[in-house]
């Protein structure tokens, strides 16, 4: 029997009733339908939502998106906003792959332009883009150079000849989050990051050639420069070994800080420190270094993609229309201004496996998109589809301007590898759907099989029905590059 009570608010929103006996300071709110709620209950992910609700300074609720699944400390798909003065910051609320995120490029190519070039495109990208566990990139940095990257973000990359200056205006934080301090990043983390800029990595990271399959909002799609049967390119990667090391380093710091400040933890994986404490400030400033690193990483991956397509099509990237639509992160803690009981306050919003989804007219949205809302990019699995969404006004009050980040896992990586053969999956995707897959590891490919994930269309429909984001376009994979 469950130790908690869940009330149905509507078909797509559920409340875990605040229970002092469970240490909850606020209720839990889950955006889900009955089927996905049952999965969260069966997986015991609800316990993690409850545990997050026990953290000091948490505001309104402990939130979970419909792609929720079990994570380290926080559930993946968890959102928690903390009071700046009384709240805490937790590496478990950000995750190991700090600023793991996704960007999408539009092109002026149509499906007919790809024709019989698809396999050649994928082969060329596979040769051009470093990928896989521990992969090293074409960019080798010294400690002083990586410090400049930490503080300069995408501006550093542009100065060094990677990407276009206009790209940064279509990224969160204009490609450079303020507050980075390289002094708080360990030598071990720096060493891991010096040779991984512009690398894809492994796991669920990918580069996809996609086709715009369906348009739901013609006006918004026009603003984003999307139309049916157009080719787009989606890039999903993060801060690589650097971010993982920063998280690992600060989990140790936070375990000691929790004792130092008398913070009682219902789960030691929620180790944290007051936001205003020296430990909290150091973690935040190190985390920002990883955020800027991740944005540069995706920026350089896009640069390699542009070069590869220039070689295939014998045209410049400009003539191919390879422009950045948007780049958004989904593992981050940010200082943001939100309305709290009628007063605008700066608070710290943890989003772990969740995407910022600001509504129209917010000052942090690129001017070109301000009337329609912030673009939200939701990757699905390699065999089905992904989505372009927009943030909404309702999300600002319902979820601190947050929505889902993807499909969410159904099977663990271990179970997926046990049940699925990567080589057979690759053949099946091509034979049945014409999807060309290039992967560095067949076991890694098996981990990311479509059947290991929830149907992203279900997840996206729930976020739209709940009002926290809305659909613009559906994108179907043609070619997939995996580590």
The active-site residue, picked from 236, 299, 350, 405, is 405
Asked whether residue 238 is assigned to any structural domain, the reply reads yes
Asked whether residue 441 is assigned to any structural domain, the reply reads no
pLDDT in tens, 127-176: 989 876 777 778 999 999 999 999 999 999 999 999 999 999 999 999 99
Q: Can you give the CATH number for the domain in which 52 is found?
A: 3.90.1860.10
Percent of the chain with pLDDT over 90: 85
pLDDT in tens, 186-230: 999 999 999 999 999 888 899 999 999 999 999 999 999 999 999
Asked whether residue 168 is assigned to any structural domain, the reply reads yes
The 3-state DSSP class for residue 181 equals coil
Percent of the chain with pLDDT over 70: 100
Average pLDDT for residues 105-130, to the nearest whole number?
93
Q: What does the pLDDT read at residue 444?
A: 84
Place of tokens 């799609």: 221
Asked whether residue 432 is assigned to any structural domain, the reply reads no
Task: Kindly report which listed range (95-99, 374-378, 407-411) carries the lowest average pLDDT score.
Answer: 407-411
Query: Tokens in use for 58?
Result: 């948490």
Q: Could you give the angle at the alpha carbon of 380 between the alpha carbons of 441 and 222, nearest 5°?
A: 130
Distances (CA, A) of 70 to 44, 125, 238, 360: 8, 33, 20, 32
> H-helix or E-strand containing 185?
none
In terms of Cβ atoms closer than 10 Å to its own Cβ (0-12, 13-18, 19+), residue 22 is: middle
Q: Is 405 a catalytic residue?
A: yes
Nearest CA-CA partner of 28 in 1, 11, 10, 48:
48
In terms of Cβ atoms closer than 10 Å to its own Cβ (0-12, 13-18, 19+), residue 178 is: exposed
pLDDT in tens, 2-50: 789 999 999 999 999 999 999 999 999 999 999 999 999 999 999 999 9
- Distance between CA atoms of residues 259 and 246, nearest Å: 20
User: DSSP letters of 67-100?
Assistant: EEE--SSSPEEEEEEEETTT-EE-GGGT-SSTT-
Taking the CB of residue 4, how many other CB atoms lie within 10 A of it?
Answer: 17
Q: What does the pLDDT read at residue 449?
A: 87
Q: How confident is the model at residue 353 (pLDDT cuts 50, 70, 90)?
A: very high
Does pLDDT of 483 surpass 80? no
Q: Which residues of 126-164 are buried (b: 16+ CB within 10 A; e: fewer)?
A: bebbbbbeebebebebeeeebbbbbbbbbbbbbebebbb
Q: Could you give the angle at the alpha carbon of 331 between the alpha carbons of 390 and 341, nearest 5°?
A: 65
Q: What does the pLDDT read at residue 336?
A: 98
Average pLDDT for residues 349-376, to the nearest whole number?
98
- Distance between CA atoms of residues 378 and 102, nearest Å: 8
Query: Tokens in use for 307?
Result: 């070069």
Average pLDDT for residues 460-468, to the nearest whole number?
98
Name every residue whose Cβ is closer than 8 Å to that of residue 16 and which is 6 or more positions away in sequence.
4, 5, 6, 24, 27, 28, 29, 30, 46, 49, 50, 53, 62
Domain that holds residue 190: 6-410+453-482
Give the count of domains, the chain: 1
Distances (CA, A) of 393 to 32, 358, 378, 472: 19, 7, 19, 16
Asked whether residue 445 is assigned to any structural domain, the reply reads no
CB 362, CB 374: distance < 8 Å = yes
**pLDDT, mean over the chain:** 95
Asked whether residue 448 is assigned to any structural domain, the reply reads no
Q: What does the pLDDT read at residue 207?
A: 96
Intra-chain end-to-end CA distance of the chain, in Å: 42
Q: Which residues of 31-62 are buried (b: 16+ CB within 10 A; e: fewer)?
A: bbbeebbebbbebebbbbbbbbbbbbbbbbbb
Q: How confident is the model at residue 115 (pLDDT cuts 50, 70, 90)?
A: confident
Asked whether residue 405 is assigned to any structural domain, the reply reads yes
Task: Please give the model's pTM, rounded to 2 decimal places.
Answer: 0.96
> H-helix or E-strand containing 430?
helix 422-433
- Distance between CA atoms of residues 139 and 194, nearest Å: 8
Does pLDDT of 1 surpass 70? no
Asked whether residue 442 is assigned to any structural domain, the reply reads no
């Amino acid at each position: 029997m469950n130790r908690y009570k869940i009330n149905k608010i509507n078909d797509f929103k559920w409340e875990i009733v605040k229970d002092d006996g469970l240490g909850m300071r606020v209720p839990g709110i889950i955006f889900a339908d009955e089927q996905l709620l049952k999965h969260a209950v069966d997986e015991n992910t609800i316990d993690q939502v409850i545990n997050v609700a026990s953290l000091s300074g948490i505001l309104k609720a402990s939130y979970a998106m419909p792609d929720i699944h079990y994570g380290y400390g926080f559930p993946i798909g968890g959102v928690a906003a903390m009071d700046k003065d009384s709240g805490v910051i937790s590496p478990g609320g950000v995750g190991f792959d700090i600023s793991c995120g996704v960007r999408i490029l539009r092109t002026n190519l149509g499906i007919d332009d790809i024709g019989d070039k698809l396999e050649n495109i994928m082969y060329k990208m596979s040769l051009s883009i470093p990928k896989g566990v521990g992969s090293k990139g074409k960019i080798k940095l010294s400690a002083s150079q990586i410090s400049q990257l930490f503080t300069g973000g995408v501006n550093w990359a542009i100065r060094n000849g990677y990407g276009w200056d206009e790209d940064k205006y279509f990224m969160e934080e204009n490609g450079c989050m303020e507050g980075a301090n390289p002094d708080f990043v360990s030598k071990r983390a720096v060493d891991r990051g010096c040779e991984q800029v512009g690398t894809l990595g492994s796991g669920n990271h990918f580069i996809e050639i996609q086709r715009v399959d369906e348009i739901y909002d013609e006006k918004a799609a026009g603003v984003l420069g999307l139309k049916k049967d157009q080719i787009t390119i989606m890039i999903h990667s993060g801060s690589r070994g650097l971010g993982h090391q920063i998280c690992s380093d600060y989990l140790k710091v936070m375990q000691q800080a929790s004792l130092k400040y008398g913070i009682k933890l219902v789960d030691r994986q929620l180790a944290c420190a007051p936001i205003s404490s020296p430990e909290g400030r150091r973690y935040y400033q190190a985390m920002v270094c990883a955020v800027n690193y991740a944005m540069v990483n995706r920026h350089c991956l896009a640069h390699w993609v542009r070069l590869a397509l220039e070689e295939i099509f014998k045209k410049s990237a400009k003539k191919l229309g390879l422009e950045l639509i948007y780049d958004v992160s989904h593992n981050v803690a940010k200082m943001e201004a939100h309305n709290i009981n009628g007063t605008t306050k700066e608070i710290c919003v943890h989003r772990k496996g969740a995407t910022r989804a600001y509504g129209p007219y917010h000052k942090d949205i690129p001017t070109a998109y301000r009337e329609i809302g912030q673009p939200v990019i939701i990757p699905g699995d390699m065999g089905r589809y992904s989505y372009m969404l927009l943030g909404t006004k309702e999300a600002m009050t319902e979820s601190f301007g947050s929505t889902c980040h993807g499909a969410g896992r159904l099977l663990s990586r271990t179970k997926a590898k046990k049940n699925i053969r990567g080589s057979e999956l690759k053949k099946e995707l091509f034979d049945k759907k014409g999807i060309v897959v290039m992967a560095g590891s067949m076991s890694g490919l098996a981990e990311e099989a479509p059947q290991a994930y929830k149907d992203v269309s279900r997840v996206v429909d729930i976020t739209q029905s709940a009002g926290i984001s809305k659909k613009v376009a559906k994108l179907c994979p043609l070619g997939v590059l995996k580590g």
